Amino acid sequence: MTNQNNNVVRPEVNSCINTLISGPESMAVLGEFLGFSHSNFIKRLDLEGANVNAWIDLMRAASPTRSENQEKSSWILYHPSAIKLFDEIIYSAKGKEIVFFLDYDGTLSPIVADPDKAFMTRKMRATLKDIARHFPTAIVTGRCRDKVFNFVKLAELYYAASHGMDIMGPTKNGSAVKSNNNNNTNKAVLFQPAGQFLPMIDEVYKILLEKTKCVPGAKVENNKFCLSVHFRCVDEKSWAPLAEKVRLVLNEYPKLRLTQGRKVLEIRPTIKWDKGKALEFLLESLGYENSNDVFPIYIGDDRTDEDAFKVLRRRGQGVGILVSSVPKETDASYTLQDPSEVEHFLRRLVEWKRSSNVNPTSA
């Protein structure tokens, strides 16, 4: 697997945000990542006033500004463009079945202020439809399944929603498959490992709606098996009050955990399930559990996609592609700048596949 062992080291504060969870014990874990002892880190937080101060630092770290002073050259050396090295990726995939896994926000659609308006372009939808004609394709997202399906509008895909906790299959042989949860997307439920948490998620959603309504710009989104608290439109001065409100609510729900994405706080059940687990489940469902003849390509832009990148690295299969125009610590092997480059890359894959079908010796 190309470039699998190359990493770039970012400032330590950026490496510890993978498990941002409320409570002193969890914050102590973050302290160990930062190089502090358990007791010293707790003491440091106490001296600074409250755990929420550390939260805010991490929130800023997860939302880097696009400064021209960032040294991109060394990062790009270790995480080159998937478009520029397209032939290298194709060579690695030679003789194997390509399977696509794609995040939605920031990958297939642009990041926008209002998450309800994160529409993909018609061009992207057409390209995605062509990709699905040639390769098994799954959307892996933190969004709820119904919402992301309404954005994508393609029934031939797999949908691993709510960070992989709500996995649905495509229609079979062009006919509708009855779902077991009465949704209107004509999908077959494949896996829902967090079903028992639904009442708790709904309860916390209602509480957070009430608690955050006084914070201008804050938006709480119910993704069915997880919740998102968006702070993209919140003034930075209000980040601390918002984080404190969320923390106080979750203190009463120890079976829920908090992680962070791009200007969003994610609330999920404490089960050991993430986008990486969803990727492995889908590969197994497709018959590739122990196969060396598969080449998974996972494209995503968010910190939650790193779980999938790590799985590919551990398996020594396929490639992870990070969508980012700024350096980030990542387990991905390649990069794309933005959704327009994602579309370009996918279109080249379609053209390559069509060409290889006409000229099999070129595949």
Mention every residue, 6+ apart, whose C-beta is less than 8 A from residue 221. Answer: 115, 227, 228, 229, 230
3 state SS of 257: strand
> For domain 196-269, which CATH number applies: 3.40.50.720, 3.30.70.1020, 2.40.40.20, 3.30.565.10?
3.30.70.1020
- Would you say residue 179 has pLDDT above 50? no
Convert the pLDDT of each residue in 120-141 to its tens digit: 999 999 999 999 999 999 999 9
DSSP 8-state code for residue 115: G
More confident residue, 56 or 263: 263
103 is catalytic: yes
Convert the pLDDT of each residue in 59-79 to its tens digit: 665 555 555 445 678 888 899
The CATH fold of domain 76-193+273-362: Rossmann fold (3.40.50)
Contact 323, 339 (CB under 8 A): yes
Convert the pLDDT of each residue in 9-53 to its tens digit: 343 334 443 434 444 444 443 343 334 444 443 333 333 344 566
Beta bridge partners of 158: 138
Among 112-126, 159-173, 198-212, 221-235, the least confident range:
159-173
Convert the pLDDT of each residue in 313-328 to its tens digit: 999 999 999 999 999 9
Contact 363, 356 (CB under 8 A): yes
| Residues, the chain | 363
Give 188's pLDDT tier (boundaries 50, 70, 90): confident
pLDDT (0 to 100) of residue 360: 58
- Would you say residue 361 has pLDDT above 60? no
Q: Where are the alpha helices (DSSP H) in 253-363?
A: 275-285, 306-315, 339-358
C-alpha 1/C-alpha 3 separation (Å) is 7
The residue ranges of DSSP E strands in the chain, in sequence order, are 97-102, 137-140, 158-161, 166-169, 188-191, 219-222, 227-230, 256-261, 264-269, 294-300, 319-323, 334-336
C-alpha 92/C-alpha 294 separation (Å) is 11
- Would you say residue 183 has pLDDT above 50? no
pLDDT (0 to 100) of residue 310: 98
* Domain residue extents for the chain: 12-61, 76-193+273-362, 196-269
More confident residue, 211 or 52: 211
- Would you say residue 309 has pLDDT above 70? yes
Out of 46, 57, 87, 103, which one is annotated catalytic?
Answer: 103
pLDDT (0 to 100) of residue 66: 53
pLDDT (0 to 100) of residue 289: 87
| pTM of the predicted protein model | 0.74
